[in-house]
Amino acid sequence: MKKLLALLVLVSLVGVVAVAQATLTIYADDTRTPLLRTIGEQFTAATGVAVDVVEFPWNDLRTNFITATQAGEGPDIVIGAHDWLGELVSNGLLEPMDLAGRLSEFDEAARSAFTTGNVLYGMPYGTENLTLIYNKEVVPTAPETWDDVLEIMRAQYDPDLPMYGLAFQNTAGNFYQFFPMLSAAGGYIFGFDENGVYDPCDIGVANAGAVWGAKLYQDMLNEGILPASVDWDTLNALVAGKNVAMVITGPWLLNAIKEAGWDYGICKIPPILGIDGEYHQPKVFTGVQAFMVSSFSENKTLAFDFLLNYIATEEVMAEIAVSGSRIPTFLPALPSTPADLAAFADQAQYGVPMPSIPAMASVWQEGGNALDLINNGTDVASALGQAYNLIRIAVGCE
């Protein structure tokens, strides 16, 4: 028995000290994993280094990356959205991205979305933003102003079919989709200070413009022409059954729209009449996605080599962006973007990059709650005012 034990212990100890081959580990989501695996094979053929792409659902990527990296088991490269930047950088999990003099090949706005504290942390590959998609069978020409939109909504409204003129996700927690309404007349999230950096204590979610826009939204709800309680599944159902003429959504819904057989057109969200009697263009959040390198990676040189020489090429960057219905941020890949994706760029000009400072988490939370209260009929000014106060507390201003 003792001899058996000793033998087994010796055998296991040898296994523990085994030599490991260099492997590059990448965390990606289901849309991009197949492409990364193909390129990984090319990399392995050229360098002899194995590439292991681990797939996660998009919503689990961030938490898995944080937990694994903290435990020392993290990947070398991870795909992510720029609003994760605040949390990942404040936890010290990202390595500054060295683009080796190829900065000019990447879109400047996308680069700045991934820059914090004057350091670039990601290699951006795609951007996304909300815009208006309309069904040409019902709405032959793109609406010019928000008054046209209201007209269409009133004309199309039929609760029995049901048929609606416009729909967008407006259940509690969809502050992202609610922002265009607030921003048209002057609402904003965080203002900028003199240095052009976000000032988290300058919060504009409850200013006059935001209240105006939210009131307009609430009036549409009360009139009934804008459907309430529209979540992701409901929006998909409305689109699939052609029960809605126009949707304010992002490129992620395009597949469902095509499958439903819409003859769709894409235009920017029409300008809304503001407090001052002028028409203002609603602004939307732009989201940027990029490759990031972990600061705990033991293969940083290999990771940068992989990203710069195998990923940052015209064909690969174009395919990675378009396969996920995003607009490429790699400038040489832009000309090959399909026309419908390129139409998103009209609205993207009026885009605001989502601030990636950690205080943003409280904005989503409290903004979502404010939308919830507004949906339930609470006075708009107090709902937005509560969000304003709570964000201020969460950010820690005075």
CB of 366 to other proteins, least distance (A): 7
* CB within 8 Å of 341: residues ≥ 6 apart: 251, 254, 322, 325, 326, 327
Using CB under 8 A, which of 100, 103, 161, 197 touches other proteins? 100
Among left, alpha and beta (phi > 0; psi -120 to 50; other), residue 42 is alpha
Using CB under 8 A, which of 242, 346, 378, 381 touches other proteins? 378
CB of 152 to other proteins, least distance (A): 19
How far from the centroid of its chain's Cα atoms is residue 384's Cα?
Answer: 23
CB of 344 to other proteins, least distance (A): 28
370 is an interface residue for other proteins by CB under 8 A: yes
198 is an interface residue for other proteins by CB under 8 A: no
CB of 20 to other proteins, least distance (A): 10
CB of 150 to other proteins, least distance (A): 19
CB of 112 to other proteins, least distance (A): 20
Is 272:144 a contact under the CB 8 Å cutoff? no
295 is an interface residue for other proteins by CB under 8 A: yes
Q: Map tokens 């395009």 to a residue.
A: 254
Report the distance separating Cα 306 and Cα 46, nearest Å: 11
Paired residues of 285 in beta bridges: 352
115 is an interface residue for other proteins by CB under 8 A: no
Report the distance separating Cα 377 and Cα 218, nearest Å: 8
Report 30-89 residues binding other proteins (CB under 8 A).
Answer: 47-49, 63, 66, 70, 72, 86-87, 89
Determine phi and psi for 29, rounding to 5 degrees: -95, 180
CB of 370 to other proteins, least distance (A): 8
Q: Map tokens 């695996």 to a residue.
A: 37
Paired residues of 353 in beta bridges: 286
Nearest-Å Rg of the Cα atoms of the chain is: 24
Decide whether 129 or 294 has the Cβ nearer to other proteins. 294
DSSP H or E segment with residue 168: none
DSSP H or E segment with residue 119: strand 119-120
Report the distance separating Cα 318 and Cα 335, nearest Å: 9
- The stretch among 31-39, 263-271, 311-319, 373-381 that binds other proteins (CB under 8 A) is 373-381
* β pairing state of 264-267 and 77-81: unpaired
Decide whether 38 or 382 has the Cβ nearer to other proteins. 382
Query: What x-and-dash track marks residues 3-32 binding other proteins by CB under 8 A?
Result: -xx--xx-xxx-xx----xx----------
CB of 306 to other proteins, least distance (A): 11
* Helix, strand, coil share (%) of the chain residues, nearest 5: 45, 20, 35
- Interface residues toward other proteins, by CB under 8 A: 1, 4-5, 8-9, 11-13, 15-16, 21-22, 47-49, 63, 66, 70, 72, 86-87, 89-93, 100, 162, 172-173, 227-231, 233-234, 237, 295, 298-302, 304-305, 358-359, 361-362, 364-366, 368-370, 372-373, 375-376, 378, 382-383, 386, 390-391, 393-396
